[in-house]
A and B are shown apart, each in its own frame.
Chain A
Amino acid sequence: MIERIIVTVVMYLLLVYTWFLDKEKKNRKDFMFYMGLVCISGYLSFVFISGKAMFNLDDLLDIPFERPARMIFNYFTS
């Protein structure tokens, strides 16, 4: 767990560094979008550090596509 926290901290430090590099060039829309991405990253960082299986991108895409995908798979393997 400690190692995961250290890696996460390093990642965010890199993000802060690049934020300052591009600071002047961002308008309001860019800023809002940037913060949106950071918020999603925050949730994922929590999932990563805790090591638990929580709702994720693949689960989101599984909702509409898992059944047809398995039907095709079953056809080929039957």
Chain B
Amino acid sequence: MKQIETINTLQMILLFQAFITGSTIINIQGPFIGIAENGAWISILLANGLGAVVMMIVLFMYERYPTLSYVQYTKVLMWKPIAYLFGISLALIVILFTANITYGMGQFLTTSMLKESPLYIFHFLIIMVASLTVRQGIEVMARMFHGMLYFLFFIILSILVLNITHYHPEYLQPVLLSGWKPVLHATYVGIGFPYMDIMYFAMILPYLKREKDKPFKRWMYAGLLLNGIILAVTIIASIMVFGPMVTYEKFPIFQLARIIEIGEIIQRVESVFGIALIIGTYMKITMMLFIINEIITQLFDLSNKRAFVFPLGLLVYLFSTTSFNNEIELGESGLIMETILAVSLGFIPLLIVAGRSLVKR
């Protein structure tokens, strides 16, 4: 990890896409369809729209303080104890959410592929690899994730295309079987995960090498919209294949990969597709760990960023193995707690800081 690192506009946009699509591509369909049933795709698009509001504030602050991260401009704008309070609360929620994502990935592996293996082995391996990647710095991450993201999108596209014979568009009806309330409920969940994550990305933005001729903001919004469309399409595809039974599937996208059968040539390819889905989660965990490291080192003015990657990785690993005793607790944390925590400890402080920057000219 070099002390001064920069990445170009394309790399930043691809990092953002990896960050926002990463783990959601395996985790979001199940809970969303479970809550909103056939209206889940509307929920994801509504949540995506609200995510654009979060992005608007983040980019507004970035325009004002292009060389500072969220923690740094909070320290500049706010009274010091308040800045510390905001920084610590942000660190706590990002650590908790990274532990959630890690547990979700372990759960995906133990429920779909490696059923006899203990969860903590997967947590250990992914956190170790993520920590090693974070130690190499954002430039290496940007270069690595560039290729991985294309691979991930190729696999998602393949899953959708190779299932084309299984689609039943009539399963999409009725869209609002129980009215708007479940749709709004899923939207509420979607605000917490994945769309409040945009706020954490404010810790990475100062690494962008400013290129005046490149329309950075426009591409960030386009990236966010693309994410909403991808997630909505995977939800629609899951509903069209499994119909009402989709609500019983924990990871519908993986089940879509499992049922692919083209003659006797392409079948039982779920392991290959599973690898791509794990790569998505790996990218997300790596970037979350990078963000945690940035928050902690900038908040407490620690001199050597690199030295804190492993202790923080260890902390996330241990939280992921000890915070939840079973998947019901994880579900409660994700569906009930995550949004209120992200809004109260992440978004409201961001609003206060943005308001303060408007007043303090």
Chain A contacts to B: CB under 8 angstroms:
3-4, 7, 10-11, 14-15, 18-19, 22, 25-27, 29-30, 33-34, 37-38, 40-41, 44-45, 47-48, 53-54, 56-58, 60-62, 65-66, 68-70, 72-73, 76-77
Task: Tell me whether A65 and B344 are in contact in the complex, defined as CB-CB below 8 angstroms, given that A44-B318, A58-B96 are known contacts.
Answer: yes
Binding site of B, secondary structure by majority: helix, strand, loop or mixed?
Answer: helix
Q: Is the CB of A57 within 8 A of B188?
A: no
Given contacts A11-B317, A29-B301, A34-B311, list 10 more A-B pairs with CB under 8 A: A14-B310, A33-B300, A37-B312, A38-B311, A44-B319, A57-B319, A58-B323, A58-B329, A60-B92, A66-B337
- For the complex, is B341 an interface residue (Cβ under 8 Å from A)? yes
8 Å CB contact of B324 from A7, A25, A33, A58: A58
Nearest neighbor of B93 in chain A, beta-carbon distance: A61
Kindly list chain A residues whose C-beta atoms are within 8 Å of the C-beta of B301.
29
8 Å CB contact of B337 from A4, A19, A61: A61
Q: Is the CB of A69 within 8 A of B340?
A: yes
Whole-angstrom distance from the CB of B270 to the nearest CB of chain A? Answer: 27
Q: Is the CB of B315 within 8 A of A69?
A: no
Kindly list chain A residues whose C-beta atoms are within 8 Å of the C-beta of B333.
58
Nearest neighbor of B344 in chain A, beta-carbon distance: A65
- For the complex, is B118 an interface residue (Cβ under 8 Å from A)? yes
Q: Is the CB of B182 within 8 A of A61?
A: no
- For the complex, is B45 an interface residue (Cβ under 8 Å from A)? no
8 Å CB contact of B302 from A15, A18, A30, A48: A30
Kindly list chain B residues whose C-beta atoms are within 8 Å of the C-beta of A19.
307
8 Å CB contact of B323 from A33, A57, A69: A57
- For the complex, is B177 an interface residue (Cβ under 8 Å from A)? no
